[in-house]
Amino acid sequence: MQKVKDLKSLEKFSKLYKEYKILNFDIGEINKEDFEFNTKLILSSLQHLSSIIEEFDSTTPATQITFQVITEGFVTEKEFTDVQLNVKRWQEVTKLSDGSEQLNRILSMLTGSH
């Protein structure tokens, strides 16, 4: 597996997994402040990810790159997994509710699922 060379950007990207607020989609109404915070956090984190992705060819799954936040010791496996599962659930809810196509693309990039 190809390793990320730009570790500074990877560490900045890992902020996503440290600061993300888990959203509870099963209660029917999510915390609007947490939703907005996460949206901004994802967008800012993607700026750091975009420079990292340039190191890889287009066939490399984004999740193979993002997983390196664990192997480099920036976040724990639990932090990574909790966020990934919650983002996946967010993506499912977005699809079911005919949510923003742009948001769906962003979430699918993080989860590796279309």
15 within a domain of the structure (yes/no)? yes
Position with higher pLDDT, 42 vs 109:
42
Indicate the range of 11-20, 50-59, 76-85, 103-112 predicted with least confidence. Answer: 103-112
What is the tally of structural domains in the chain? 1
**Is 74 inside a domain boundary?**
yes
Q: Is 46 inside a domain boundary? A: yes
What pTM value is reported for the model?
0.89
pLDDT digits (tens, 9 = 90+) for 37-67: 999 999 999 999 988 999 998 888 888 899 9
Note the pLDDT tens digit of each residue in 67-101: 999 999 999 999 999 999 999 999 988 888 877 78
> Is pLDDT of 27 > 70?
yes
Residue 60 is assigned to a structural domain of this protein: yes
Is residue 106 in some structural domain? yes
pLDDT of residue 102: 85
Contacts of 107 (CB under 8 A, 6+ apart): 42, 87, 88, 90, 91, 94
> Per the domain annotation, does 51 fall within a domain?
yes
Domain of residue 38, residue span: 7-20+28-111
What pLDDT band is residue 114 in, cutting at 50, 70 and 90? low
Residue 1 counted as domain residue: no
